């Protein structure tokens, strides 16, 4: 892929040219992102990360009645992941949830808008529900509260933003009046959304979680989707774009996290579909300082140590994060153990270890 850096008034815009473009904005402040051989400063007040990737056409609250035998009681795997975590230590539960999310019928967009007439229109509520359902699956797997909902006003603003991006064939979190189909609502939507061009709907959610491209190492799109404080989202779509409204002043006060130590990882601890393990692994925490962290990854008798992995305090998803690269495991490969040392929490240095078990 080719990449270019384009200055944009008071912010930086990072772009990779290909078929899908994904974009995210951050919270206020200046953040320094440290790589093993370089240092990048991000303007987190309105900084923009944009990516393009190739495109092809292509939710645990209620407890079911246990199954009882003459000797033991075995509860069936939980199948509802829209309001509680998926137990990723239970292979059957993860496999069942993965089967459910993929066997769910996909609904038609039925977009009523038009780029030619600059009409944002709307999409079918069932189509929006498909997008929400995919986001909920990722959150339930990652161990952050999946009980989020679609907000009508956020949907409307996201739809206006998606229209402008499709009309311009480009992305910006600060479009101005020179952009085709511009409106103040489009600006408001774009400034608070992940943005995708070249894909839409459910496919764009997988793209945000993967977050590929040389200018997107912080995986900011993923981190906004996995923000523990996220309460509601909005989605706007055209046949060539998506805007996922993820930054709101309305946040969740009871930000539940499955990991007792408060970490949010992708891929998470436990059983994970191999297709959803991407080559950028992220570990986030609300207060941990990863700037001195060392990562050791072990699989099939091989261990690799990352002495100076990427880390930042940019505020993506309202958490500090560490990111490192590990290739997608091959079919039938063994579990992957990650050990992170020299994490600073509450003025003390600590370590954290977890194991990912790929399947499929």
**How does DSSP assign 28-89, residue by residue?**
SSEEEEE-SS-EEEEETTT-EEEEEE--------S-PPPEE-SS-EEPPPP---SSS---TT
Residue 270 C-alpha from the chain's centroid:
18
pLDDT digits (tens, 9 = 90+) for 313-351: 988 999 999 999 999 999 989 999 999 999 999 999 999
User: What confidence score (pLDDT) does residue 307 get?
Assistant: 95
* 3-state SS track over 98-126: HHHHHHCCCCCCCCCCECCCCECCCCCHH
Bridge partners, 23 (sequence order) = 50, 195
pLDDT digits (tens, 9 = 90+) for 211-241: 988 878 999 999 999 999 999 999 999 999 9
- Asked if the bond preceding 267 is cis, omega within 30° of 0, the reply is yes
User: What confidence score (pLDDT) does residue 268 get?
Assistant: 98
Cα distance between the two ends of the chain = 29
Nearest in space to 358 (alpha carbons), one of 249, 294, 252, 274: 274
Phi and psi at 347, nearest 5°, equal 65, 15
Task: Give CA–CA dist 155/174, Å, rounded.
Answer: 18
Residue pair 202/106 in contact (Cβ under 8 Å)? The answer is yes
Task: Give CA–CA dist 169/198, Å, rounded.
Answer: 9
User: What confidence score (pLDDT) does residue 216 get?
Assistant: 85
- Stretches in the chain below the pLDDT threshold 50: 1-21, 24-74
User: What confidence score (pLDDT) does residue 22 get?
Assistant: 53
User: What confidence score (pLDDT) does residue 42 get?
Assistant: 35
Phi and psi at 223, nearest 5°, equal -65, -35
Verdict on whether the full-model pTM lies above 0.85: no
User: What confidence score (pLDDT) does residue 212 get?
Assistant: 87
User: What confidence score (pLDDT) does residue 41 get?
Assistant: 34
């Amino acid at each position: 892929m080719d990449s270019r850096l384009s200055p944009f008034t008071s912010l930086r815009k990072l772009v990779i040219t290909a078929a899908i473009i994904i974009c995210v904005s951050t919270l206020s402040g200046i953040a320094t992102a440290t790589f093993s051989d370089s240092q990048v400063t991000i303007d987190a007040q309105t900084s923009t990360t944009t990516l393009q990737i190739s495109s092809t056409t292509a939710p645990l609250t209620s407890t079911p009645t246990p199954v009882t035998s003459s000797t033991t009681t075995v509860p069936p795997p939980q199948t509802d992941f829209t309001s509680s975590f998926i137990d990723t230590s239970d292979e059957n539960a993860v496999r069942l949830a993965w089967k459910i999310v993929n066997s769910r019928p996909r609904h038609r967009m039925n977009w009523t808008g038009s780029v030619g007439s600059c009409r944002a229109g709307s999409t079918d509520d069932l189509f929006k529900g498909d997008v929400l359902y995919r986001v909920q699956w990722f959150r339930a797997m990652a161990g952050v509260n999946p009980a989020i909902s679609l907000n009508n006003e956020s949907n409307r603003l996201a739809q206006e933003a998606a229209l402008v991006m499709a009309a311009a064939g480009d992305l910006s979190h600060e479009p101005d009046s020179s952009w085709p189909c511009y409106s103040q609502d489009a600006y408001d939507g774009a400034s608070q959304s992940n943005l995708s061009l070249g894909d839409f709907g459910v496919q764009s959610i997988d793209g945000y979680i993967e977050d590929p491209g040389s200018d997107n190492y912080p995986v900011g799109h993923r981190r906004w989707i996995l923000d523990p404080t996220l309460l509601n989202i909005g989605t706007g779509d055209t046949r060539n774009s998506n805007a996922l409204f993820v930054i709101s002043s309305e946040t969740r006060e009871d930000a539940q996290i499955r990991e007792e130590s408060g970490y949010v990882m992708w891929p998470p601890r436990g059983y994970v579909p191999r297709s959803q393990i991407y080559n950028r692994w992220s570990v986030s925490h609300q207060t941990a300082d990863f700037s001195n962290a060392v990562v050791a990854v072990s699989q099939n008798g091989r261990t690799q140590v990352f002495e100076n992995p990427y880390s930042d305090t940019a505020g993506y998803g309202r958490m500090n994060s560490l990111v490192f690269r590990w290739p997608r495991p091959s079919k039938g490969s063994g579990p992957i153990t990650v050990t992170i040392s020299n994490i600073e929490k509450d003025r003390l240095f600590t370590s954290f270890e977890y194991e990912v078990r790929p399947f499929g």
